[in-house]
Structure formats: C-alpha cells, structure tokens
Amino acid sequence: MRNLVITENITLDGVIDASEGWFSPAGDEEVDRSDLNDALLEQADAADAVLVGRVTFEEMRSYWPLQTDDETGVTEYLNNVSKYVVSSTMKDPKWERSTVLSGDLEENVRKLKGESGKDIVVTGSITLVHALIPLGIVDEYRLFFYPVVLGRGARLFDDATGVPNLKLFDSRQFRSGVVLTCYGREGGRVPALS
C-alpha cells in the first residue's frame, strides 16, 4: 500500500495559504537554497504521484510547464509524474499524465493508495487537504516551516477533527531558515524519507 503524504509550505503560525506573498516557488535569489532543493528532489524521488485540487492544479499547470531555466528539477518532475486532480467541473486537464478524479473522494484516494507504486503527495490544495484529514487516510505530514508569522490565513489544521496522534520521524534545518518536519501516524509504518 502506498503512503498518502501531505506536504505543505507553512508559516510558524500554521498558515498554508500563500496568497499573502510569503512564499515563492523560485525563492529568494540571494539565499542559498541548494540544501532545500536537495530535500525537494529527495521527496520527488520517493513519490510517483501528485494529488491536488483543481485550483492548485490550474496554478501549477500555468506556471511549471513554462519554466525553461528551472535548475531545481521541479519542472521536469511535475511534467513526468502522474498527476491526479480532484474536481467535479474539470473535464480535460490539458497537461500530460494528468487524470481528473470526480466522485467519492475517499473511494478514489483509497483506490490510488491500494495500487502499487511510491508515495502519493498532496501539496497546496487547502480545500482538498481539509477534506482528507478527517478521513483518516493521511499517512504522513511533511511540513516545510518558513520563518514567517502572518496571524491570518487558512491553516493546515483549521479544524483538528480527525487528526491522529502524530510521531516525529525527521526534522531538518536548511541554510535558508526553513525547517522540515516529518510526522507520521503513531503506530504507522515509517515514512519513506526517514
């Protein structure tokens, strides 16, 4: 069975909504992000599927395939990985290796988890993440904490209903000040990145 991993860029006060401009995929050009990029590539290597909501999918589709000088490897990864977009309105995803999932969310995700393969990563997708957490099917949370406090915005655990006891499996600090923490369900199997 595959792990379902929620990975988020998150502020110190738990905000995952990047609309305030605190997060940029390109990052700050003056800050050495090579160690952070290595961790992102490690995560990409452990996953062969990305699960996102429609809004995040459309934002990714309008940005990543157009990057011609991306040295991080994210563009190549996203163009080649299997992408699943949860949507009741989208018919044609218009991005190679993309599949639209409509219908019962839990049934669709459990089916994906039951297939052979590597991790399934959910990123961004606030509405989708908030729907997945209470279903009890999330195996791991990989949280990239940025040294920012907003005081407002959508939080990862807006409503903590359904969040199991979590165990810290890994923690890493990067030169940029970002800290990655990896939590899994207590009693669950050890996540791939540990």
Give the 3-state secondary structure of 7-61.
EEEEECCCECCHHHCCCCCCCCCCCCCHHHHHHHHHHHHCEEEEEEEHHHHHHHH
- Judged by average pLDDT, the poorest of 131-140, 158-167, 182-191 is 182-191
Q: How many Cβ atoms sit within 10 Å of the Cβ of residue 68?
A: 6
Domain spans, the chain: 4-21+31-185
Give the chain's mean pLDDT: 89
**Of 135 and 33, the one with more pLDDT:** 135
Q: How far is the CA of 131 from the CAs of 89, 127, 145, in angstroms?
A: 17, 6, 22
Pick among 3.40.50.300, 3.30.70.560, 3.40.430.10, 3.20.20.70: CATH of 4-21+31-185? 3.40.430.10
pLDDT at res. 29: 65
pLDDT digits (tens, 9 = 90+) for 28-66: 667 788 898 889 889 899 999 999 999 999 999 999 888
26 pLDDT higher than 70:
no
Cβ-contact 121, 112 below 8 angstroms: no
pLDDT at res. 59: 92
194 pLDDT higher than 50:
no
pLDDT at res. 28: 62
The Cα–Cα gap between 132 and 109 comes to 9
- 11: exposed, middle or buried (Cβ count in 10 Å: 0-12, 13-18, 19+): buried
State the pTM of this model.
0.89
pLDDT digits (tens, 9 = 90+) for 99-119: 999 999 999 999 999 999 999
